[in-house]
Amino acid sequence: MEDFLTKAGAYLEQVEVTQITDEQAAAILWPQTDADLPASSDAKDIIRELQKLKQKEIDLELHAIYLSDYYRIKKIPRAFRIKNVPTIGRNNPEVCRKWIGVLNKCSFDLMMVVIEEMGRELKITKYKISDYELKNTALITTPNCDALINKLSEDLKQYKKGLICFKHQKLDKGNADYTDHRVYKCLVGEST
């Protein structure tokens, strides 16, 4: 390993590194920004963008809720299960239990990292929604938009309802894995 690091370090010293100065970047970058582009004045476009933002808010909120619930009941959802078995000692139940304990800790730590990041993303998304609604208040509050706003509200309710149903199904499958002892194959003598 040390020989590899020595060789890699020697190679890295020989690699040419190009650094662009701020002046060079200013000459290369496009002078306009997204803020310079005209905002859409079409109500349907504005509602569609608002729907995307609100769906992202729902996604983040529900995902964080369900991951938190998994953590509270000390079960690991399928997406966070690390499918790895010991190469030596896989027939020794004590080694398997220790191995699983390490994998569980890693999975739970990863869940906490993701939950924390979703909280950060949710705050940003809520700010974007608020900002977007504020910037487009004049158009959103017109009588012509009432039908679009009502449809948006109904679509978001249906979206959330469908997502909750999907999350419940995943939770049920995860619980069934634990009930039927399908989570850790090395404890039942199977290899993956």
73-111: pLDDT as tens digits: 999 999 999 988 888 988 898 998 999 999 999 999 999
Structure confidence at residue 98 (pLDDT): 92
Q: Is the pLDDT confidence value at 176 over 50?
A: yes
Segment 45-74 shows an average pLDDT of: 95
| Domain assignment present for 142 | yes
| Domain assignment present for 79 | yes
Domain of residue 46 covers 40-188
116-131: pLDDT as tens digits: 999 999 999 999 999 9
Max CA pair span of the chain: 73
Segment 50-71 shows an average pLDDT of: 96
| Domain assignment present for 62 | yes
Total count of domains within the chain: 1
If you search the block for the tokens 């020794």, which residue do you land on? 92
| Domain assignment present for 33 | no
Please say whether the beta carbons of 100 and 184 come within 8 A: yes
- pTM for the full predicted model: 0.72
The residues, any chain, with a CB within 8 Å of residue 85's CB and separated by 6 or more, are: 96, 99, 185, 186, 191, 192
Confidence of residue 192 (pLDDT cuts 50, 70, 90): very low
